[in-house]
A and B are shown apart, each in its own frame.
Chain A
Amino acid sequence: MSALAGLRVVELAHERIALAGKLLGDMGADVVVVEPLGGCPTRWHEPFVDDVPDPERSLTWWHYNTSKRSIELDWKRPEGLAALQALLAEADVLLESEDPGVLGAHGLTDGVLTGVLPRLVHVSMTPFGPTGERRDERATDLTLLAGGGPAWNCGYDDHTLPPIRGGGGHGYAIGCHYAVLSVLTAVLHRELGGRGQRVDVSMHAAANVTTEMGSYNWLVAKGTVQRQTGRHAGQTPSMPSQQRCADGRYVNTGVPPRTPGEYAKLLAWLRDLGLEGELPEAVFLEMGAKRDRIDLSKIGVDDEVTAIFAAGREALTFIAGRVGAREFFLGAQRAGIPVGVIYAPEEAYEDEHFVARGFQVEVEQPQLGRTVRYPGAPYAFEKSRWAISRAAPRLGEHTDEILAEVGVDAARLRAAGVVGSGGQSS
């Protein structure tokens, strides 16, 4: 069974909150995404199937709205609001990311939400929270990551180049992860005998506490980390850890070998590759392999330890220059040295390990009349079913069915112009 089977979630469609609804839907919740007339603007986000712009062909919409049903409803007008309230009366969770004040201005105050619906968990995720002097500032994924701290940590050793924000919508994702944690915590509290409640999530605050040392070096010791190419921002420069391999692709060389066993395996790998003769430092690898232990605190003090440690790093760099990135990754890991190949997303997706674990999932895609391969589960539950129960809904695909479930006459609302025709034309 699904962990969230029977949990009814109403999500007011917004690009910021879509991932949170997907995570709940894929765990079995019944997520109804409420789209404005004409559809959520995210439907016009690239990339499109075959690059043909169309609200039913946005792969961004497809990914973030799996396992949801869609109702096309103008809840900002009174007849539509009444229908939304009918939905909320039957719901467990309201998930939304409207700008501060928007819900209240349209009649959805706390009084008519958690005030009269004691079971309702209302999670409101906004860029800066609902109060405070910055609450109305405009924000996008980029500006949240810039203002909230993550971007300060990321970029290149060369500080004439700007800080870099990782691509892929992570400013929104960080907020959504906290929104999902909030939903689950509040729902569990309710299941344990408590009542529903309102939860506010600040996306700016969420980014601020997702910077690792960026924040706590300052909090603890007033230290300011500085960005470095491909490695942790730090207060003092660290050794480079990215290496270009023979095929032009990069690896992260991780932490160099530190134990005699690791030196032995590294040396054996070097020999397997037939490269020992080309690396003069191999003699130090052999010395490392033969020692009882290697006292890293003696680096820079004891010449032999210093040479051994340097040789480990040197050997990894040397091998990387002779083999492809994936071969380097596999060889080093088999030698017990934790390194990583820097994959493009599609390369990771096709890697044998993730394929073997069933990460690629096929989803029936009605628009194409065939199945499409999607990313799989972020976690593997033994019993709770994770599944993309349906592809992202077409605009208003479930309008009539959803309204019927709460006893609202769709025809009357359609005549009033507050629900779309999506459900009928499809």
Chain B
Amino acid sequence: MKALEGIRVCDFTGQLAGAGATKWLAAFGADVIRIEDPVNQGAWDILRSVPPFVDDRRGPDFGGGFNNHNVEKRAITLNLRTERGKELLAAIVERSDVVTENFAAGVLERWGFGYAALKALRPDIIYVSNCGFGHTGPYADFKTWGPIVQALSGLTFTSGLPDMEPAGWGFSYMDHTGGFYMAMAVLLALIHRQRTGEGQWVDMACCETGLTLNGPAILDYTVNGRPMRRPGQPNGNRSDWPRMAPHGIYRAQGDDEWVAIACRDDRDWRACIAVIGEAWAGETCWATLAGRLAAQDRLDERLNGWCGRRGKFDVQRAFQAAGVPAAAVQKPEERIDHDPATAEFGLWPLVRHTKMGEVRVDGLPVRFAETPWTIQRGGPCVGEHTEEVLVELLGLSAAEVAALREEGVV
């Protein structure tokens, strides 16, 4: 049984910030139909044609990231510059529960499919838009992409070593997270509609979404007047809230090998003393949290020395055996191919892509007892389901679809 069977999504999303949202919905059985432009071969979603690739083939059907984010969806092309293309889209909207998009603000409106138009087609339509700054406010016309959202929302700033330039995130964390909240918005609006019969527009401003993730720091500012921009901040891998020490990522034996250790309290520290097994660790100056916090630099130096003579997984095992949180900083190969905890969750399903063949993708980190997710079908090629959707959903004949193709509508 599928949790979202019977829900149809007319999906204009792309990249990860939008496509990640509808991936969740599709994996639970929603019928997600991507609408793309036949003229530029769906190029608005740049991930269609950028690395990684499985082999030497290139083009809009070979982007590895696109495949990863668009499993279990269907894709059609519609030329919205043509009247016929607009008519067909209108017919799809009439048969959809949800319209999703993450264009810059106003793009869908300019095509004649703003919220008012969507609502005219289907009064209880749910429309969820996700862009950096939202559709209102002084910056509504500004453009963003993942790293810019992270910069604006305080998240880049809070990732880094003290008194150095920010380290930032190293990936589009807010594309992932924007996608999470976008999917939540769709589900919340569906629940709302189920209870009241009414649809609605949800306007997501991804920068605001990111800003909500700084809660305690913002309250420290509004209540205590203490800004995060101050000497000593950000604090690297240390922990101020709650206070812990030692707490860091330490150099282990080997090339660019690291291990994280988090000593939560004095009980943990007593366990650490036994694991470390060297005289310095037993000195009374380290016995209390206050003592360890007071000389964190020296403590970290000691631990860097100790860990540096050991393999990162050996360190992880030794501390874990003593009940102290520790984890090797895993490289992709280690956590994907050799970690029993990701294998246990079936986290890397193999999908069949029409052109790329069999490829592994990110699965979902959840197990539903009654309605498990399914990820088997790869991301759709450009227009792969145009005929199927127009025939099944809109009742066109194959000949009519062929004619539309001739006219450049699909």
Residues of B within 8 A of A384 (CB): 188-189, 192, 200
Query: Lowest 8 A-B CB distances belong to which pairs?
Result: A147-B327, A205-B365, A340-B151, A340-B148, A153-B170, A63-B215, A146-B260, A345-B154
Interface string of A283-320 (1 = CB under 8 A from B): 00000000000000000000000000000000000000
Among A141, A146, A232, point to the contact of B249 (Cβ < 8 A): A146
Q: If the complex has contacts A137-B320, A140-B262, A252-B151, are A219 and B336 also in contact, measured as CB distance less than 8 A?
A: yes
- Chain A residues closer than 8 Å to B342, beta-carbon distance: 204-205, 208
| A212 x B228 contact (CB < 8 A) | no
- B208 and A359 within 8 A (CB): yes
Given contacts A181-B184, A219-B361, A333-B143, contact A212 B176 (CB under 8 A): yes
Select the residue from B28, B150, B218, B228 with max chain A CB neighbours within 10 A: B218
Determine which of B136, B188, B330 lies in contact with A147 in the assembled complex, contact meaning CB atoms within 8 Å. B330
| Interface stretch of the complex, out of B74-82, B238-246, B394-402 | B238-246
Which A residues lie within 8 Å of B182 (CB)? 379
A375 touches B215 (CB 8 A): yes
Q: Is B137 within 8 A of A357, CB to CB?
A: yes
Please report which residues of chain B, range 193-211, place their CB below 8 angstroms from some CB of chain A when the two chains form the complex: 194-196, 198, 200-205, 207-209, 211
A132-B221 CB under 8 A given contacts A46-B243, A150-B173, A232-B171: no
Q: Does A89 sit within 8 A of B, measured CB to CB? A: no
A199 to chain B, nearest CB (A): 5
Closest-CB distance, B338 to chain A (whole angstroms): 12
Contacting pair B217 A184 (CB below 8 A): no
A218 partner, pick from B16, B153, B220, B333, beta carbons under 8 A: B333
State in angstroms the CA–CA spacing of A173 and B331 once bound together: 22
Chain B contacts with A in 135-167, Cβ cutoff 8 A: 136-139, 142-145, 147-161, 164-167
CB pair A251–B143 under 8 Å, yes or no, is no
Contact between chains at A1 and B196 (CB < 8 Å): yes
Chain B residue at minimal CB-CB distance from A162: B249
Count of B residues near A, CB < 8 Å?
154
Q: How far is the CA of A182 from the CA of B184 in the complex (A)?
A: 9
User: CB within 8 A of A154: which of B168, B177, B185?
Assistant: B168
Closest to A130 in B: B367
Given A233-B170, A379-B202, A379-B209: A129 in contact with B344 (beta carbons within 8 A)? yes
In Å, the complex CA distance between A241 and B235 comes to 22
Q: How many residues of A contact B (CB 8 A)?
A: 153
State whether A336 touches B143 (Cβ < 8 A).
yes
B189 lies within 8 A of A381 (CB):
yes
Known interface pairs A132-B344, A224-B331, A230-B165; 10 further A-B residue pairs with C-beta atoms within 8 A, sorted by A's residue number: A60-B216, A63-B215, A188-B194, A215-B332, A216-B52, A220-B64, A252-B151, A352-B138, A372-B222, A380-B204
In the complex, which residues 176-191 of chain B have their Cβ closer than 8 Å to any Cβ of chain A?
176-177, 180-185, 187-191
A224 touches B325 (CB 8 A): no
Q: Residue A146 contacts which of B145, B208, B328 (CB distance < 8 angstroms)?
A: B328
Measured CB to CB, the closest approach of chain B to A317, in angstroms, equals 14
B371 interfacial by beta-carbon distance below 8 Å: yes
A206 at the interface (CB under 8 A from B): yes
> How far apart are A361's CB and chain B's nearest CB, in angstroms?
11
A60 and B157: CB pair below 8 A? no
CB interface residues, A 88-135, toward B, < 8 Å = 114, 128-129, 131-135
A346-B327 contact, Cβ under 8 Å, with A138-B320, A372-B219, A378-B208: no
Q: Is the CB of A254 within 8 A of B196?
A: no
Contact of B4 among A49, A50, A188 (CB under 8 A): A188
B175 at interface by CB-CB < 8 Å: yes
A-B contact pairs, 29 of them (CB 8 A): A3-B195, A47-B220, A60-B241, A114-B369, A134-B341, A142-B249, A147-B316, A149-B332, A153-B171, A167-B158, A168-B213, A177-B180, A184-B184, A188-B187, A204-B342, A205-B365, A206-B365, A254-B147, A338-B145, A340-B150, A345-B154, A346-B227, A347-B154, A348-B211, A351-B152, A373-B222, A378-B209, A379-B204, A381-B200
